[in-house]
Amino acid sequence: MDPIQAPAENYANPNVCFFHVLFKGASLAFYILSALFINNFVIIFVITVFLAALDFWVVKNVSGRILVGLRWWNEINDLGESVWKFESLDQESLARMNKKDSWLFWWSLYLTAAAWIILAIFSLIRLQADYLLVVAVCLSLSLANIIGFTKCRKDAKKQLQQFATQTLASQVSSTIQSAFSVV
């Protein structure tokens, strides 16, 4: 190894990364391979959706918090309106997040949805409306996480900009006050 070259960054949370990818791969693999070994649609539907629901829960409640420092949920207020809620780590902690963990999180999130879209196209081509239903449920769970985490990331960036603006304004204000207090 070249002494000047910096060592490659490793995953900071390999177990979380493993389970983040495991349930995505398990639901996709079971759905694809079940056609070869199982001739019962109900079993295929239940197990595939169960694995996709486990993936949804793990991403939303565990790996999203640990790998990218974000969390989201949706509530219904007293008026019956849907309200998105977002949490993120403070900006200093977000800046220290492991780049490989973050990369794995986002790419696996998008690639899983892309895989479900491709499987939906195959179901449409083969005119299999029942299997299209399985894919639609799994795709909707993947898209819910994509939408939730994307909105959460945008909210975290907006909070960073507001914090920077407030900090800059307070610095300018204190500088002006100290300049006039000297005179």
Whole-prediction pTM value? 0.73
Q: φ, ψ for residue 84 (rounded to 5)?
A: -85, 135
**Which helix H or strand E contains 40, and what residues bound it?**
none
**Which helix H or strand E contains 76, and what residues bound it?**
strand 70-76
In this predicted structure, what is the pLDDT of residue 62?
A: 84
In this predicted structure, what is the pLDDT of residue 138?
A: 94
The band of 1, judged by pLDDT with boundaries at 50, 70 and 90, is: very low
The DSSP annotation for 11-31 comes to PS-HHHHHHHHHHHHHHHHHH
